Homo-oligomer: A and B are copies of this chain.
Amino acid sequence: MEAMAIISIFTLSIFVGFEVVSKVSSTLHTPLMSGANAIHGVILVGAIIVADHSDNSLELGLSLAAIVLATINMVGGFVVTDRMLEMFKGKGAKNKGSGDK
Chain A residues in the interface with B (C-beta under 8 A): 1-2, 4-6, 8-9, 12-13, 15-16, 19-20, 23
Q: List 16 A–B pairs whose Cβ atoms lie within 8 Å, in order of A's numbering.
A: A1-B2, A1-B4, A1-B5, A2-B2, A2-B5, A5-B5, A5-B6, A9-B9, A9-B12, A12-B13, A12-B15, A12-B16, A15-B16, A15-B19, A19-B19, A23-B23
Identical chains bound together, number = 2
With A and B bound together, what is the CA distance between A8 and B8 in angstroms? 9
CB distance from A23 to the nearest CB of B (A): 8
Residues from chain B with a CB closer than 8 A to the CB of A5 are 1-2, 5-6, 8-9
**Cα distance, A93 to B59, chains bound together (Å):** 63
Q: How far is the CA of A13 from the CA of B9 in the complex (A)?
A: 9
Closest chain B CB from A16 CB (angstroms)? 5
